[in-house]
Amino acid sequence: MLSVSEHKKIKWQLDNIPESIKGKPRQNLRTTLKKKLHEHELISR
C-alpha cells in the first residue's frame, strides 16, 4: 500500500511527464503509474 506522500508523488509524476519522452516509452510510463494508483485505490477501499 502506498503512503499519502507516495500517492501524491505518483499523481504528480503522471501529470508532469516530460515532453522529451514520446511514443511507446511515454505510454509505458503512464500505464505503470496508472496501475500503481489503481492498486492503491483498490486496497484503500
Say whether pLDDT at 1 is over 80.
Answer: no
User: From CA 3, how far away is CA 26, in angstroms rounded?
Assistant: 25
Q: What is the mean pLDDT of residues 4-15?
A: 94
- 15-35 tens-digit pLDDT: 999 999 999 999 999 999 999
* pLDDT given at position 11: 95
Task: Evaluate if pTM is beyond 0.75.
Answer: yes
Q: Measuring CA to CA, which residue among 42, 39, 38, 14 is closest to residue 28? A: 14
Residue 12: pLDDT band by 50, 70, 90 thresholds?
Answer: very high
